[in-house]
Structure 1
Amino acid sequence: MPASLTIVGAGPGADDLITVRAARRIAAADIVLYTPAAAPLSWLRTQTKDEAELIDLGVPAGEDVLDVLRRAVRDKLAVVRLHPGDPAAWPELRAQRETCTRLGIDVEVVPGVSQESAVAASLGVALVEPAHADTVVVSGQDLTRVKDLATKSSTLAVHAPAARADDLVAALTAGGLPEDTPVALAYQGTDREMTVVRTTLRDLPATVKQHKVWRSALFLIGTAVRPSRTRVAPRAPEPVQRAKEPEPKPVRTTTARRTTKRRKTAKR
């Protein structure tokens, strides 16, 4: 078989939230490219075949991805690249596909449960609601863009290192958000389970320090995070008034009684 690359969404972290298709691709891979944010090495060793090569992309001195792909072409290997959550939120997805096209590598993208969906589910809220919330997902690497989007959407989902919480708050307040804007901080612990903490923009830096979160985190900011009792319900549609039709008049029916004349019998 020719070389292949499968870009797999590893989900929000919980082992039972990875898709069946993703698990199958991981189990069949010759090489798995990963970062600790996508999946820990200890878990991957239980999911891959014994001879599979596991490459941590977070190691600076590690093998370059392009070199791995060229080796896959030469040796006709199946490569899996893990991405946290859903690959659709990965800014480099298009560039990775174009690179594989140039190398003649077949590419498959396996969707995963997004981190935004997982956080919303844990809070019991919806990311999109009529008259309540619409959500924009952005990368926190460019805080200027975050500032520009601060008041353009009722809810922002920002992926950024938790260590930049102070900078994130400064950008959002400079963009026009009040300090009491609700925030959900979501991060992955050592057990791969996602922890979600409610706070506000004002208290976000202190919350990050309290929970000792420094690496990648998801910040859900705005209307979708508010408790449901504080939301203004959309106006119910007015009931349609239908013209009342006149009731039909009752029709009286009579049944003709049939009479039979009796013959008179003569007395003898």
Structure 2
Amino acid sequence: MVYFIGAGAGDPELLTIKGKRLIDHADVIIYAGSLVNPAVFQDRKPKAQVYDSAGMTLEEVLDVMQQAEAAGKTTVRIHTGDPSIYGAIREQLDALDALGISHEVVPGVSSFLAAAAAMQMEYTLPEVSQTVILTRMEGRTPVPEAERIESLARHQATMVLFLSVNRIQELTERLCTAYPPETPVAVIYKASWPEQKIVMGTLANIAEKVREAGIRKTALVTVGKFLGSQYAYSKLYDKQFTHEYRKGADQ
């Protein structure tokens, strides 16, 4: 069996209980060394074989999995955050299916969730935004034409951009085709890691602030009025609001 495990955003304590149990008992560990905090497998078995996939090809990763399966060993493939978001797992799962190797995916805490926790912010504030767009700028990996930044920005929803901070100046210029320049922005570098940084600003000045902070990668860009101070209270706890579990004060 091969287990694909979301390692969380970086803090090893953000591993799920299931994920940690599987990692600690695995015979073979394959992890993305450029992204995953090695502390997440510090309690591994002494004889566990560890492979850093940062310098490996897909074929080499699959070869390690296939050899482990043939030897009756359990393999964990550790991905940063949650494997379903920019995790490149589909190609691995399909290849394992073709090889007849069983697999399971264990979810993890995505960096966009750890970023919100670090800022102590809520992405979906009443009467501000009830939609969160997770996206990225096109790079070596293209994006569909309908998902270009300018198209998504027209919604003026909460937006979280992965893999884009290295082009922050271009990004802000493109976002400003729809969002006002004074729209608040926060850039979170390595959310939940000891070296975490949070840089706050607006679309008009965030690029300069990010350059001054020396942030070039491993950071999320969050955009939207959720970062502001104006919002409506939730109806869920409104004393005048009746729902299935509580009658309103005037009922």
Short-chain TM bin: 0.7 to 0.9
TM-score (norm 1): 0.74
Query: Which of 51, 65, 69 matches 2:65?
Result: 69
| Residue aligning to 2:249 | none
CA deviations 1:221-263 (Å, max 9, x no partner) are 112222x3x33668999999xxxxxxxxxxxxxxxxxxxxxxx
Matched, 1:5 2:2: yes
How many residues in Structure 1 have an aligned counterpart in Structure 2?
Answer: 233
CA deviations 1:68-112 (Å, max 9, x no partner) are 222233223322122222223235333332222111222111111
- 2:184 touches 2:202 (CA, 8 Å); kept in 1? yes
Query: Which of 159, 162, 165 matches 1:159?
Result: 162
| Residue aligning to 1:138 | 135
| Residue aligning to 1:25 | 22
- 1:12 touches 1:194 (CA, 8 Å); kept in 2? no
CA deviations 1:31-64 (Å, max 9, x no partner) are 22222454234x2562222222222222268972
Q: Distance in 1 between matches of 2:35 and 2:193?
A: 12
Matched, 1:111 2:107: yes
Using a 3 Å threshold, how does the CA distance of structure 1 residues 63 and 182 change in structure 2: closer, same or farther?
same
- 1:8 touches 1:83 (CA, 8 Å); kept in 2? yes
Query: Shift in Å at residue 159 of structure 1?
Result: 0.6
| Residue aligning to 1:195 | 197
Which 5+ residue runs of structure 1 have no aligned equivalent?
241-268
CA deviations 1:193-218 (Å, max 9, x no partner) are 53322222222222222222222211
Query: Which of 44, 48, 58 matches 1:48?
Result: 44
Matched, 1:173 2:170: no
Q: Distance in 2 between matches of 1:146 and 1:208?
A: 19
Most deviating of 142-151 and 99-108:
142-151
Question: Larger C-alpha radius of gyration, 1 or 2?
Answer: 1
Query: Shift in Å at residue 125 of structure 1?
Result: 2.2
- 2:127 touches 2:231 (CA, 8 Å); kept in 1? no
Q: Distance in 2 between matches of 1:38 and 1:63?
A: 20
Most deviating of 113-122 and 4-13:
113-122
- 1:55 touches 1:62 (CA, 8 Å); kept in 2? no
- 2:31 touches 2:51 (CA, 8 Å); kept in 1? yes
Name the amino acid aligned to 1:215. K
Name the amino acid aligned to 1:166. Q
Matched, 1:95 2:98: no
Q: Distance in 2 between matches of 1:101 and 1:5?
A: 11
Q: Distance in 1 between matches of 2:206 and 2:45?
A: 42
CA RMSD of aligned residues (A): 3.0
Matched, 1:225 2:221: no
| Residue aligning to 2:121 | 125
| Residue aligning to 2:153 | 150
TM-score (norm 2): 0.79
Q: Distance in 2 between matches of 1:50 and 1:201?
A: 49
| Residue aligning to 2:248 | none
Name the amino acid aligned to 1:126. E
Name the amino acid aligned to 1:196. I
Which 5+ residue runs of structure 2 have no aligned equivalent?
243-251
Q: Distance in 1 between matches of 2:239 and 2:154?
A: 28
